[in-house]
Amino acid sequence: MNIAILGAPGCVGRNLIKTLLETPEYSVTASYRMQEEIASDIHDDRLVWKQVNLLDLSSAGQFLGGADVLIYLIHSLGAKNFEELDIQLANAAGTAAKKAGVKKIVYLGGIVPEGKEASPHLTSRMKTGQALASHGIPVAEVRASILLETCSVSYLIVYFLAKRLPVMITPRWLNSLCAPIALTDAASCLVALVQREIRGHEIFEIGSDIVRYRDLLSFCGKAIRGVRNIIIPVPFFPIHFSSLWIQLITGVPNSVGVALAEGLKTNTVPSRNRFNEVTGRDPIPVQDVLQRLAQEMQKKNK
């Protein structure tokens, strides 16, 4: 089976490629825009990196030629017009995939809060899935909350806040619930859906333990230094100020911080967790994941 990955150079893409190559029957075509994006630490005869301009129909068609399944990981977060760009790229991918005869699209999006207005970031994730599905190809949309891995921006924000601020004043909306999951678990779910029969546009919400975001910070602090962070919530804490604070402490750009912080104002938990249904096992507990990642970060920073 030939699997094409758009958005391959990112954190999720690199982990996913390694997981896919564990199955001898899979060959992988991975996208890149610039030469330096190619993962130099992944070598396999069944892996081919191809440069692609998704907005050029000819380039997109050449990239997807011969692919049975497309795994779509593109997200334009950080771009000024990321909402418009996300939809434009998704429609370009759907058009090219239809023309190339792709049989299925597997897409990684985000959990959208029920009954409340979603942030622009999460709305864009939802609309991307809808755009991909509008071209008549079956779409398996995996919706996840916070991905935990040392290369994940969401995890790095949590890690550096927890490490550098043992005592912190936080917005009251950090009481919102989330369902973090190890990136390795999310990748396992995506790979399992490559073989699963999909009809129409099917959504698979996944997550591990449900926790408050402030507790995730505390658990991360305990994994780092053995003691939980002391967190003092205050009622008024503007999003813009929060993003500047995140940029100062963690180095994550303000534009990304704003988008992610807005998503924390509502609960992002699965209404129906389908992880076990898809993979046949339970996800790794959040505190176990945080413990492993804290140890890996410590080794990296030595």
Q: Which domain CATH number covers 11? A: 3.40.50.720
Is residue 5 within 8 A of residue 17, CB to CB? The reply is yes
Radius of gyration of the chain (CA): 19
The count of structural domains within the chain is: 1
Examine residue 153 and state whether it is found in any structural domain, yes or no: no
Q: What residues does 227 pair with on adjacent strands?
A: none
Residue 134 lies in a domain: yes
Most confident of 33-37, 144-148, 296-300: 144-148
Residue range 202-228: average pLDDT?
95
Kindly report the average pLDDT of the chain as a whole number: 90
**pLDDT confidence bin for 243, thresholds 50/70/90:** low
Q: How confident is the model at residue 161 (pLDDT cuts 50, 70, 90)?
A: confident
Measured distance CA(29)–CA(40) in Å, rounded: 15
pLDDT above 70 for 237:
no
pLDDT of residue 258: 64
How far apart CA 257 and CA 10 sit, in angstroms, is 18
Q: Does residue 101 belong to any structural domain of this protein?
A: yes
First to last CA, the chain: 41
Task: Of 48-52, 69-73, 77-81, give the lowest mean pLDDT range.
Answer: 77-81
Please report whether residue 73 resides in a domain: yes
> 86 in a domain, yes or no?
yes
Distance CA(257)–CA(263), nearest Å, equals: 10
* Residues making up the chain, counted from first to last: 302
With respect to residue 67, please indicate whether it lies within any of the assigned structural domains.
Answer: yes
Q: How far apart are CA 44 and CA 264, in angstroms?
A: 39
Domain that holds residue 40: 2-145+181-206+269-281
Q: Is 6 left (phi over 0), alpha (psi -120 to 50) or beta?
A: beta
Residue 290: inside a domain: no
Predicted model pTM: 0.92
Looking at the domain assignment, is residue 214 inside a domain? no
> Could you give the percent of the chain with pLDDT greater than 90?
67
Residue 117 has what pLDDT?
75
What is the average pLDDT across 25-39? Answer: 93
DSSP E strand stretches across the chain = 2-6, 27-32, 47-51, 69-72, 104-110, 139-144, 147-148, 167-171, 177-178, 181-182, 201-205, 211-212, 230-234
Contact between 103 and 140 (Cβ < 8 Å): no
